[in-house]
Amino acid sequence: MTSPVHRRRPPTVQQFVLGELRRAITSGQLKPGAPIRQEALAEELGVSRVPLREALKILEAEALVVHEVHRGYYVARLSLDDLREVYRIRQILEAEAVREASGRLDESTLAALEAAGHDVEKAADAGDVSEMTAANRRFHFTLYEAAGMPRLARLITTLWDATDAYRSLYYTEAGNRGHVVREHRAILDALRDGRAEHAVHLLDEHRRHAIRALEEVLRQT
C-alpha cells in the first residue's frame, strides 16, 4: 500500500485506516481473494490492531471483505453468478434513478456531472486507477442522487460497494478506460438533451461492457 506519510489524516484513526483499506481495494492493490495481513498492515500504517479490526468489521458489513474462522480476513471474491446478479439488480434500480433524475436536472447538477466526467478522463489518460474509480463514482452518484430518492441511492451504493474491487480490475486495461470515457460523454449528452430513455439505454450498454470484461477476468482466476 502507498505510504500515508504525506497524506492528511481524517479526523480519527479508524477513519484513516478505513480510507487506506478502501483505497487499496478499489485501486486493485489488494485484489479479490487476497488475504489481509493485519500485523503487517497495522505496522505499515503506524496504528494498533484495534482501529484496524474496527475498520475491517465495517468493510465486512459492506461485503468488501470476508472473515473466515482460523484464517482471518480476505478481500471479497464474487462468483460469475454473483457478479451478474449484482449488475442485473443495478440495471433495474439505476434505470429508475435516471428516469426520476432526468426531470430534476438543473445547470449546477449538469455542471457537476461534466466536472466528474472530466476527472474520469484525466485519470484514465494518466492510468490512475484509484482516482478514476473515485471520479467514476462521483459521476454516477451525482446523477442517481439527483433523483431525490435517498433510499434508492443507498441501495445502489450497497451494490456498488460489493463490486468495487472488480471495477479496478476493469480499469486496468487502457481500452476499457477509453470505453468508460466515451460512454460517459454520450450519457451526459443524452441527459443535456432531455433524452432520459436514451441515457438509460447507454447506461445499460455501459454496464454490459463492464460485465463482459469482468467475466473474462473471473474465468482466468
Q: What is the pLDDT along the chain (221 residues), one digit of tens a residue?
A: 554 444 555 568 888 999 899 888 877 788 888 999 999 999 999 999 999 999 999 999 887 899 998 889 999 888 888 889 999 999 999 999 999 999 999 999 999 999 999 999 999 999 998 899 999 999 999 999 999 999 999 999 989 988 887 888 889 889 999 999 999 999 999 999 999 999 999 999 999 999 998 888 777 76
Neighbours of 146 (CB within 10 A): 23
- Whether the CB-CB separation of 177 and 207 falls below 8 Å is answered with no
Which pLDDT belongs to residue 207? 95
Which pLDDT belongs to residue 218? 76
- Whether the CB-CB separation of 14 and 4 falls below 8 Å is answered with no
CA dist 100 → 5, 27, 89, 105, 117 (Å): 43, 31, 17, 10, 21
Which pLDDT belongs to residue 201? 97
Look at the block and give the residue holding cell 459492506: 62
- Whether the CB-CB separation of 164 and 132 falls below 8 Å is answered with no
Q: What backbone phi and psi angles, to 5 degrees, belong to 97?
A: -65, -40
Which pLDDT belongs to residue 161? 83
CA dist 145 → 66, 94, 96, 105, 152 (Å): 29, 10, 12, 11, 9
> What are the residues whose beta carbons fall under 8 Å from the beta carbon of 208, sequence distance 6 or more?
none
Which pLDDT belongs to residue 4? 47
Which pLDDT belongs to residue 3? 46
Select from 198, 167, 156 the least CA-distant residue to 27.
167
